[in-house]
Structure 1
């Protein structure tokens, strides 16, 4: 077993697995444009011919590695070849378990884009202690799910701590504005998870728990009901907000990632830390109706994907895996997320996470690529947690904040007047 204190000797710095897929190409393109000269990068996937075509399209001379997710030996070779493996191959519960485990065993850092709570839970159960022993940082959810949420709370906590303003209590992320397409890969992951949940009642209970990703659910504080499908008035979150808020589609996953960060940090955010996410639907007189309609629509989507007759129809309407918006749409997309918290001393703070580019594609490619670069190039700035199955905040932390700001992402915090 590897000694986590020993320097790792690898032929490569980064392997991009799934490099021929839609998002994989975008991630590889970001690295081709922004990785410092001398960064040793390889492209990996199932087809040598398609990998060579991506390499030619990017104008790079990176090596290619052929590996099928079902080929254990190929996956182990891939995991042992680099300091960091990026994987965009999902659904992760179907295609990602062997790779995450191989990276944990090899002492190789790993980043992905999962928004699948059952996969992340299984990975933590299988790989956390192994990764701690090898020093591998297995960091799930390094895209639009869940970096803005997790890093947003991270910078809030750091500012509150620096001001000696107490602990975080009620904290809400609000999607203030967003423009972009819905990822076909996300829809496919949702289908796969719903299929699993339909067959196993115990997994349904696990997925429904607000602490389903926490390392020790029995140690979590009893804070009562924590609903992911919220409808609120803006002033219920903070006096500065107006209009109505409806549920945010990824809240049921992001909130659990943030709670895992708090638990992994020994509840440093606070034992009374409550976290939720919502989406602004505007300030018009009809905004309460729009919020209620959004909640009903998201519920109907879940039910529709769970029932064979309606899934048959939805499968022909919803985006397909491996497809995505054109270059113009990716460039013109954007998102702004504002977080609000009140501390145990009564102080109010807000943080903003804003990026240009379609959230699920262009901005996600930046976040995932910079996560991998931070693990390779900014090791002295990484959190001192060591290895394990970690979150963006606990696994990469300030090193990622620094790199994202340099890449043009706004990450800011300010204290609000009483």
Structure 2
């Protein structure tokens, strides 16, 4: 079957879900950042809402075509996928609304990017679409927002610097959320609800969700590295001598870490056969940091337990953000994040990479990361990794082409020896 490079498509990028909160932000970013002549269309289930979003963008976006397709209409989704080089979708939860579109893109040889942080959806997509996408040349790249570009591209940048310096392979590697400010996503909460329901109903789903290698292409060849703790409380100095205090578990670690491990496996374990990875967040360096880290861990556990128990879920549903809700423009502008990823190499050297951006991580910054992922796939094809098609990760599916575009868009991606 022909690859996307051999096919004539009507559009470079289609934004599916453009009338939703995050979808509209992605459309706005593309309206300002896409090079002149980039062929973009807006898609979703409501023409009137899509027209309203388009009218708010102004400029050349006023001429962007509108495409209507329901998330469960496979005929319409097949037609949509066949029209584009790249489809962006912000329509989640993906386990409920994303399966058909990912499959349509894989079958059509169309590149695809999304925002999922749902391990069960990503696992199912890999099982159902990887070989198909490899045969058609489609790059199905999940998790191109705050889940999981800072983690995946940050480790990729770290690996490239270590490799360039001839400093061996990565061993113990830890992401530290050094600073972060932003709103909580209603869509993320809804995805969490869905995953908890799946895990409650299925022993198989629970087993997949808790495995540290749940996204690995072949678990049987993963090196035996012992227990992988994705929710640790860590002493800063155990990560790097310069770090003070204790670090708390990071809420997104259990998903991000599996994406990074999949990247290592897809790259033939280029990061290292003894590569270990986890994520934590800073709670300061005061004498109270152990207490604060413990409180964060307890709080995260309480939210998950509360959503799993019907009476407490009813209460939490009243106070947690609803799907489609998002922070004000002021909150989005004031938001930011900085993650630092530390590693020790097999030669005993210490390195750190940094991914830093302005804007609310789950909204404004995510819109940039998702939009630039799609533009890299559509416009920078000669710079993409040679891995070919498949269900890939940001690092393995887009790689240096994405790093270049992120830097141009104002996102810091750096790595150095420390």
Task: Name the CA distance, whole Å, in 2 between partners of 1:356 and 1:345.
Answer: 35
Aligned partners of 2:114, 2:204: CA distance in 1, in Å? 26
> Residue 243 of structure 1: CA displacement?
1.5
Aligned to 2:387: 385
SS at match of 1:316: helix
Give yes or no for contact 2:170–2:275 (8 Å, CA) kept in 1. Answer: yes
Instruction: Give the one of 292, 301, 304 matched to 1:302.
Output: 304
1:4 match? 3
1:54 matched to which residue of 2? 53
Out of 126, 130, 155, the residue aligned to residue 128 of structure 1 is 130
Find the counterpart in structure 2 of residue 207 from structure 1. Answer: 209
1:182 Cα offset (Å): 1.1
CA contact (8 A) 2:340 2:352 kept: yes
| Partner SS for 2:387 | coil
Instruction: Give matches, 1:280-319, under 5 Å.
Output: 280-319=282-321
The one of 315, 325, 328 equivalent to 1:326 is 328
Number of aligned residue pairs: give it.
415
2:242 matched to which residue of 1?
Answer: 240
Query: Which residue does 2:22 correspond to in 1?
Result: 23
Deviation at 1:310, TM superposition (A): 0.3
Aligned to 2:149: 147
Q: Partner residue of 1:346?
A: 348
Deviations 1:228-260 (A, max 9, x none): 111011101000111210000000000000000
Equivalent position of 1:76 in the other structure:
78
User: Which stretches in structure 2 are left out of the alignment for 5+ residues?
Assistant: none
CA deviation after TM superposition for structure 1 residue 180, in Å: 0.3
* Corresponding residue of 1:258: 260
Contact 2:355 2:412 in 1 (8 A): yes
1:345-401 CA-partner distances (Å, limit 9, x unpaired): 101100010000000000000000000000011111100001000000000000000
2:68 is the alignment partner of 1:66: yes
Separation of aligned partners in 2, 1:240 and 1:384: 37
3-state DSSP of counterpart to 1:360:
coil
Select the residue among 364, 367, 376 that pairs with 1:365.
367
Q: Secondary structure at the match of 1:283?
A: coil
Separation (CA, whole Å) in 1 of partners of 2:169 and 2:246: 27
Aligned-residue offset at 1:6: 5.0
| C-alpha distance after superposition, 1:254-283 (max 9, x if no partner) | 000000000000111111000000000001
Alignment equivalent of 1:163, drawn from 157, 160, 165: 165
SS at match of 1:315: helix
Deviation at residue 4 of structure 1 after TM alignment: 2.8
CA distance in 2, matches of 1:294, 1:146: 21
Q: Which runs of 5+ in 1 are unaligned?
A: none
Q: Structure 2: how far apart are the matches of 1:178 and 1:118?
A: 27
- Superposition map of 1:78-97 within 5 A: 78-97=80-99
TM-score normalised to structure 1 length = 0.98
- Separation (CA, whole Å) in 2 of partners of 1:374 and 1:118: 27
Equivalence for 1:173: 175
4+ residue runs of structure 1 moved beyond 4 angstroms?
Answer: none
Shift in Å at residue 5 of structure 1? Answer: 7.9
Give the aligned partner of residue 34 of structure 2.
35
Whole-angstrom distance in 1 between the partners of 2:2 and 2:193: 40
Task: Give the 3-state SS of the residue equivalent to 2:172 in structure 1.
Answer: strand
Alpha-carbon distance in structure 1 between the residues aligned to 2:198 and 2:4 = 39
Contact kept? 2:4, 2:110, Cα under 8 Å: no
In structure 2, distance between residues paired with 1:282 and 1:77: 51
Residue 395 of structure 1 aligns with which residue? 397
Residue in 1 that maps onto 2:120? 118
| Whole-Å separation in 1 of the counterparts to 2:205 and 2:165 | 41
Distance 1:5 1:188 in 2: 34
Q: Report how far residue 327 of structure 1 moved.
A: 0.6
Q: Residue 190 of structure 1 corresponds to which residue in structure 2?
A: 192
Report SS of the residue matched to 2:318.
Answer: coil
In 2, the alpha carbon distance for the partners of 1:358 and 1:174 equals 18
Q: CA RMSD in A?
A: 0.7
